[in-house]
Amino acid sequence: MESKIRVTVWNEFRHEKEGGAAQKVYPNGLHAVIKEFLDKNDDMEVRLAALDDPDQGLPDEVLNNTDVLLWWGHCHHWEVNDELVEKVRQRVYREGMGFIPLHSGHHSKPFKAIVGCTGDLEWGDGVKEVVWNLNPSHPIAAGIPKAFELPVEELYSEPFFVPQPDQLVFGSWFEQGNIFRSGICYFRGLGKIFYFQPGHEEFPSFYNEYVQKIITNAVRWAKPVNRVIKDECPYVGTGLFDKTHEENNI
Amino acid sequence: MESKIRVTVWNEFRHEKEGGAAQKVYPNGLHAVIKEFLDKNDDMEVRLAALDDPDQGLPDEVLNNTDVLLWWGHCHHWEVNDELVEKVRQRVYREGMGFIPLHSGHHSKPFKAIVGCTGDLEWGDGVKEVVWNLNPSHPIAAGIPKAFELPVEELYSEPFFVPQPDQLVFGSWFEQGNIFRSGICYFRGLGKIFYFQPGHEEFPSFYNEYVQKIITNAVRWAKPVNRVIKDECPYVGTGLFDKTHEENNI
Amino acid sequence: MESKIRVTVWNEFRHEKEGGAAQKVYPNGLHAVIKEFLDKNDDMEVRLAALDDPDQGLPDEVLNNTDVLLWWGHCHHWEVNDELVEKVRQRVYREGMGFIPLHSGHHSKPFKAIVGCTGDLEWGDGVKEVVWNLNPSHPIAAGIPKAFELPVEELYSEPFFVPQPDQLVFGSWFEQGNIFRSGICYFRGLGKIFYFQPGHEEFPSFYNEYVQKIITNAVRWAKPVNRVIKDECPYVGTGLFDKTHEENNI
Amino acid sequence: MESKIRVTVWNEFRHEKEGGAAQKVYPNGLHAVIKEFLDKNDDMEVRLAALDDPDQGLPDEVLNNTDVLLWWGHCHHWEVNDELVEKVRQRVYREGMGFIPLHSGHHSKPFKAIVGCTGDLEWGDGVKEVVWNLNPSHPIAAGIPKAFELPVEELYSEPFFVPQPDQLVFGSWFEQGNIFRSGICYFRGLGKIFYFQPGHEEFPSFYNEYVQKIITNAVRWAKPVNRVIKDECPYVGTGLFDKTHEENNI
């Protein structure tokens, strides 16, 4: 952990500017609250990005200097440029950038493109949620109890149309009768992905100590391990970045 | 599915003889109810076995002619002979017998020995359970809806100390605030294992149409695929049944 | 297995018409050879489709009546219409169609879109291959020995940029010093996917008894289990096909 | 990584004292070589243990102060006391101790008991091995190239009778025509397990820079994440250490 982890927190950042509950709970945007608790860690340097920023918040110089990208989007997924989505996907696959979609990020274009899914799920109004720790030996579960309660969160429910997670770390109970795989890990190319469900814009989950701990752990888990794979082996054929791959628009 | 699947339903079969709720719900033993619904399938031939039968219900001629073994035990796990446990484990690993522990079978000696776990979990009194279908593309989920309800089942809860399932098919919600990985698959050696949680002796879950469908699907899924692996390859070294393995009591 | 499995074998079908080795080995196209061995099974009804057929071989009436789609493509992936790719993906995810990409299908648009990957790998000229059975308890491995040899196949090598398989069934050794995860399973939405590596157009692998057995097993494994998920649960929120999902072009 | 990782390297340590190749390659025992390269890391404090030490090298005060236990055994697995095996298993499951069996450790009593398997495999004489990096995004693969060569290692081959790994990190090619899942991860209870195949007593693999890097990475990956799971949840029933569990000799 010599060099700092360069974290970018991307937020659609529309709800919080439209007044109402979202603005009350997150007056400066929920990404600002995430930055605030991540900033407490000496091994991270955190910057903010939003949909309405130039280049939708992710010009090349930002994206290419991001080790871990957190992504919160909800009603405006469709506004995100496909070119940007592809850049994000390529950076995860080929350069190992960590990607952490939060809450409605299950339907974000990058998440669906990176892990390969529809991201569909069932949902309902806010109810009590209990988050259960299904893999206490996982780094993202460090310091997390058997279970913790969120007094009110948006109901997310199975069936959740995602690939079977490479690692299932958290599962949630919702008052109405639903369950949800709420903390799931994927490996893709050189990159790691962690989706985490709590975080509706109108509820204070991002102030919860365990939600903060989980996101903090996830940033460390998701940081790139191999930015480039050395190729010293006499046995390999054509390279990973072989032209025909690009032509095949991989 | 040319030849029939030879199924043995093993039951501790003590509660149902002690009167009380268990006897009312399952007068002839819960294994008899399981046999009854499995018998409706032309491709299965089903026999019963119980802890108090000679050789604890599983003499060699029975075990060696069983393709899929269902196992229901609760308070008398410790009475099962370790020699029998090892025979069951070897038949799963080396001959591909399917093994389907039900309900409290999570703590049965064969389950713990076969998959490698403590099987520990948390539990409580009977409450409402909702079983969710987490993998609708899995053969064991054939014909199962998104979710179905059991009016009352014994509360089983995470943390459930089992290996991360090779396939997570069902997850359950319990009224009190708990969730549980209630239908999980493992591959071990030549054999397949499916643990399914519903089935407390005092509750009528084994009469539920979906519980019956799931157990029926599981029997077909768990039947042996390769009873022996042909070895036509010039590259293999010492064989699978190499003596030193036996000496190492594998 | 009451109703027959409706199988469509899609082939780019260009090499075999251009003369040379491909035409010698597969004069009527390699898809014709696949159809020939699948036709021996009473439980399958098989049809052929090719890139140069009307609607690229997959008009709606064909796609919508296909239970399992086999896909062989190589140099013309880019010619496949994106609209068709999306239709294939939706049918796998939402209607449970099985999808079996063969050989260079690792780079086909549908495979990359369905499982979420670049599909990149390393490759080289034809060498001896040994296919190893890594999961003898898996239905696709039924009747397959510990290992079998292909005298010459195109060298495919790790690193293979695919999601960690939900099930790793086969792995291969290549003479030059390479290995490859050559038989891998994925679950996506309601559908199942099996990628299998042997099958270069100039080599006779599709005539190999074990390659034929594996593909035959895979078709049965991949057939839809739940074409629709019944929704009898009082706990679900908005439905799987909710409009906003379509708008989000899921 | 505030407090140091307390590492114990356990070695059967018989071959190296019997003269011959093993003594020439590892005059002070292979565990001494492992300690030597681990000692270069400020975040580790390493001690040695051997089968012929008092209490077989692992008295309670040592075991209870070990965060990560490396285990090398070969011909004397059967001499290890079952009581000690059970203590190791309990410490992994219940206190999160990392466990890293090396080479012939696939047949060690603790490995088989902890992950649940026979550990059977095929083997042969020393040949050239190529280790392939199958998951470059995994922490244990940090700094490891696509592939690296070991001029001579004992041939280990599939079929390898272990549970499907929770994470498959390395796979190996052997000159004769064999492949092997040579670097595999498991989660069990609170503990993490990594099995790594290179390391025959007569070959110098433990001097290889990448073997050293992999073992070093594995120690960090395997260190305990949660030594105890806090239980602040109002929803749990009986505790993890419930008496009846002990009686059931879990």
Contacting residues of B for C167, CB less than 8 Å apart: 166-167
| Spatial contact of B133 and B144, defined as CB atoms under 8 Å apart | yes
Q: Does C136 touch chain A (CB under 8 A)?
A: no
Contact C177 D173 (CB under 8 A): yes
Stretch (H or E) spanning B131? strand B122-133
pLDDT along chain A (250 residues), means of 10: 89 94 96 98 98 98 97 94 94 93 96 88 92 93 93 94 91 94 94 97 97 98 79 46 35
Please state, as a whole number, how many other Cβ atoms lie within 10 Å of the Cβ of residue C232.
Answer: 12
In the DSSP assignment, the letter for residue B241 is T
- With CA atoms as reference, report the closest residue to A68 among A171, A192, A175, A226: A192
Q: How far is A87 from chain B (nearest CA, A)?
A: 31
pLDDT at D245: 35
Dist CA A227 CA D137 (whole Å): 9
Please tell me which of the candidates D117, D177, D239 has its beta carbon nearest to residue B188.
D117
Q: Quick check: ipTM above 0.90? A: no
Q: Taking CB atoms and an 8 Å limit, are B132 and A159 in contact across chains?
A: yes
B135 near C CB under 8 A? yes
Please give the Cα distance from B151 to B146 (Å, whole number): 17
Q: Which residue of C has its CA nearest to A165?
A: C166
pLDDT by 10s per residue, chain C, length 250: 468 999 999 999 999 999 899 999 999 999 999 999 999 999 999 999 999 999 999 999 999 999 999 999 999 999 999 999 999 998 998 889 999 999 999 999 999 989 888 888 888 899 999 999 999 889 999 999 989 999 999 999 998 989 889 999 999 999 989 999 999 999 988 899 999 999 999 999 999 999 999 999 999 999 998 766 555 544 444 333 333 333 333 3
Q: Cβ B236–D186 below 8 Å, yes or no?
A: no
Amino acid at B227: R
Domain boundaries along the sequence of chain C: 5-119+181-247
The tokens for D209 are 């820079």
Tell me whether D106 touches chain C (CB under 8 Å).
no
Q: What sign results for the dihedral spanned by CA atoms D54, D60, D62, D63?
A: positive
Looking at the whole model, is its pTM more than 0.80? yes
With an 8 Å Cβ cutoff, are A166 and C161 in contact?
no
Query: Per the CB < 8 Å rule, is A143 touching D229?
Result: no
Those residues whose C-beta lies under 8 Å from the C-beta of residue C179, and which sit 6 or more positions away, are C157, C158, C171, C172, C173, D130, D132, D171, D172, D173, D179
Task: Return all residues near A3 (Cβ < 8 A) that are at least 6 apart.
Answer: none
* C-beta separation of C51 from C57 below 8 A: yes
Considering only CB atoms, D133 lies closest to which of C134, C159, C164, namely C159
| DSSP string for D44-92 | EEEEEEETTSGGGG--HHHHTT-SEEEEE-SS-GGGS-HHHHHHHHHHH
- Enumerate the residues of chain D whose CB falls inside 8 A of the CB of residue A129: none
C-alpha B144/C-alpha B128 separation (Å) is 19
Distance between CA C45 and CA C57 in Å, rounded?
17
Which of D137, D148, D190 shows the shortest C-beta gap to A187? Answer: D137
Sheet-wide strand order for B191-196:
B44-50, B5-11, B68-72, B98-102, B191-196, B178-188, B167-174, B122-133, B147-157
CA distance A41 to A5: 10
Closest to C218 (Cα-Cα) out of C239, C195, C246, C243: C195
Helix/strand/coil for B215:
helix
Q: Checking phi first, is residue A121 left (phi over 0); if not, alpha (psi -120 to 50) or beta?
A: beta
C188 → chain A, closest CA residue: A163
Chain C residues lying within 8 Å of A234, measured CB to CB: 177
Fold of A5-119+181-247: Rossmann fold (3.40.50)
Distance CA C201, CA C21 (A): 8
- What does the pLDDT average to over D119-143? 92
